[in-house]
Structure 1
Amino acid sequence: MNNVTKQKLICIMGPTAVGKTRLSIDLAKAFSGEIISGDSMQVYKGMDIGTAKITAAEMEGIPHHMIDIKNPDEPFNVAQFQELVSSAIKEISGRGKLPIIVGGTGLYIEAVLQQYTFSESVSDPLYRERLEALAETEGVEKVHSMLREVDPASAESIHPNNVRRVIRALEIFHCTGRTMTEQLKKQKKEYVYDAALIGLNIARDTLYKRIDERVDQMVDQGLVDEVRALYDQGLRECQSIQAIGYKELYAYFDGFVSFEDAIEQLKQNSRRYAKRQLTWFRNKMDLEWFMMDEEDYSKKVQEILAYIEGKLSLEANNKQ
Structure 2
Amino acid sequence: MNTHINKINPIVIFLMGTTASHKTEIAMKLAHVLPIELISVDTSLIYKKMNIGTAKPNKNNKFYCQHWLIDIKEPYQQYSVFEFYQDAIQLIHNIIKKGKIPLLVGGTMYYFYRLLYSISPMIPKSSIHIKNLITKQIINNKFYTYYDMLNIIDPISAKKIHYNDIRRIMRALEIFFITGKTLSTLIKIPNLNIPYPIHQFAITYYDRTQLFKAIHNRIISMIDLGFEQEVRSLIKNNFLQYNYPAMRCIGYKQMFHFIKNKINFQTMLNEIILMTKYLSKKQMTWLKKWDNLTWLDSSKKHMIYNTIAKLVEQQLI
Deviates more, 1:278-287 or 1:243-252: 278-287
Q: Secondary structure at the match of 1:58?
A: coil
Q: Separation in 2 of the partners of 1:191 and 1:82? A: 10
Instruction: Evaluate the alpha carbon distance shift between residue 11 and residue 115 of structure 1 in structure 2; reply closer, same or farther with a 3 A threshold.
Output: same
Which amino acid is 2:110 matched to?
Answer: L
Q: 2:204 aligns with which of 197, 201, 206?
A: 201
Q: CA deviation at 1:31?
A: 3.4
Q: Does 1:87 align with 2:94?
A: no
Which amino acid is 2:237 matched to?
Answer: Q
Q: CA deviation at 1:37?
A: 0.8
Q: 1:274 aligns with which of 246, 269, 280?
A: 280
Q: TM-score, normalised by structure 2?
A: 0.80
Q: Separation in 1 of the partners of 2:79 and 2:9? A: 28
Q: CA deviation at 1:232?
A: 2.3
Residue identity (%)? 27
Per-residue CA distance 1:36-84 (angstroms, 9 max, x = gap): 1111121111001111100113362533211112111121111111122
Q: Report what 1:63 is aligned to.
A: 66
Q: Separation in 1 of the partners of 2:70 and 2:201? A: 21
Q: Is the 8 A contact 1:173 1:179 kept in 2?
A: yes
Q: CA deviation at 1:254?
A: 2.7
Q: 2:52 aligns with which of 38, 49, 53?
A: 49
Per-residue CA distance 1:153-192 (angstroms, 9 max, x = gap): 3439xx94xx433421354467767455x75466569543
Q: Does 1:115 align with 2:118?
A: yes
Larger Rg: 2
Q: Separation in 2 of the partners of 1:39 and 1:183? A: 25
Q: Does 1:227 align with 2:234?
A: no
Q: Which 5+ residue runs of structure 1 have no aligned equivalent?
A: none
Q: Which 5+ residue runs of structure 2 have no aligned equivalent?
A: 1-5
Instruction: Evaluate the alpha carbon distance shift between residue 31 and residue 51 of structure 1 in structure 2; reply closer, same or farther with a 3 A threshold.
Output: same
Q: Report what 1:153 is aligned to.
A: 160
In proportion to residue count, which structure has more helix? Answer: 1
Q: Secondary structure at the match of 2:76?
A: coil
Q: Separation in 2 of the partners of 1:132 and 1:71? A: 29
Q: CA deviation at 1:14?
A: 0.7
Q: Does 1:298 align with 2:305?
A: no
Q: Cα RMSD between the aligned structures?
A: 3.4
Q: Report what 1:214 is aligned to.
A: 218
Q: CA deviation at 1:262?
A: 0.9
Which amino acid is 2:81 matched to?
Answer: V
Q: Does 1:287 align with 2:293?
A: yes
The equivalences for 1:127-206 within 5 A come to 128-129=134-135, 151-155=158-162, 160=165, 163-172=166-175, 178=182, 180=184, 183-184=186-187, 187=190, 191-202=194-205, 203-206=207-210
Q: TM-score, normalised by structure 1?
A: 0.79
Q: Separation in 1 of the partners of 2:147 and 2:213? A: 30
